[in-house]
Amino acid sequence: MPSFTKIRRAAVAVVASLAVLGGTAAAVAAPEVASASTTSHHKHHATRAEKQAVGMAKDYLKHMPFSKKGLIEQLQYEGFTHSQAVYGVNHVKVNWNTQATKMAKSYLKYMHFSRSGLIQQLEYEGFTHSQAVYGVNHAGL
């Protein structure tokens, strides 16, 4: 099973550069991304870094699909602490099953996979087994 970590990191860097410059990139499809509301009675006042992590998570999700784990790792790669990355990812509204479907379709657009191989690839990308199966099912494989 091929590993696409280097290619994905390069694509992510291009998307980040375009977002900073105000450009556009061909996206698989923009997910439903919005701030999550706080249900706790004790309102946490987000730090500037946490707000930046939320913004960067939204930026990435506009341009490419991610698993929750993969997005946290990407934010950490960008220099956020683990807790800031987790905060950022937890404060965007996103359907991880939809993200798995988008990633599965993206892989199938450029490569050939068996059903089990694509499920394994999505799990490697950080999706849970159930999310990976959902994604592969909805990608038509």
Q: Give residue 8's pLDDT band: very low, low, confident or very high (50, 70, 90).
A: low
What is the residue type of 54? Answer: V
Residue 3 has pLDDT above 60, yes or no: no
> What one-character-per-residue DSSP string does 19-84 give?
HHHT-----S------BPPP-SSS-----HHHHHHHHHHHHHHHHS---HHHHHHHHHHTT--HHH
Q: What is the pLDDT of residues 13-59, one digit of tens each?
A: 444 444 433 443 333 334 444 444 444 566 889 999 999 999 999 99
Rounded percentage of the chain residues whose pLDDT exceeds 90: 69
Same domain, 56 and 16: yes
Same domain, 51 and 119: no
- CA dist 69 and 140 (Å) reads 24
pLDDT at 22: 42
Which is more confident, 92 or 17?
Answer: 92
Same domain, 59 and 15: yes
Same domain, 89 and 116: no
4 DSSP 8-state letter:
-
Same domain, 15 and 75: yes
Residue 114 has pLDDT above 80, yes or no: yes
Is residue 40 a part of any domain in this protein?
no
Is residue 114 a part of any domain in this protein?
yes
Q: Tell me the chain's radius of gyration from C-alpha atoms.
A: 15
Record the pTM.
0.73
Q: Report helix, strand or coil for 114.
A: coil
Q: Which residue bears the tokens 């977002």?
A: 19
Is residue 38 a part of any domain in this protein?
no
Which is more confident, 96 or 25?
Answer: 96
Is residue 34 a part of any domain in this protein?
no
Classify residue 16 as exposed, middle or buried by CB count within 10 Å of its CB (0-12, 13-18, 19+). Answer: middle
Closest CA to 72 of 37, 96, 105: 96
Same domain, 3 and 71: yes
Count of domains observed in the chain: 2
Q: Report helix, strand or coil for 116.
A: helix
Q: What range defines the domain where residue 111 resides?
A: 98-138
Same domain, 90 and 104: no
Same domain, 4 and 71: yes
Same domain, 70 and 102: no
Same domain, 82 and 123: no
Same domain, 16 and 61: yes
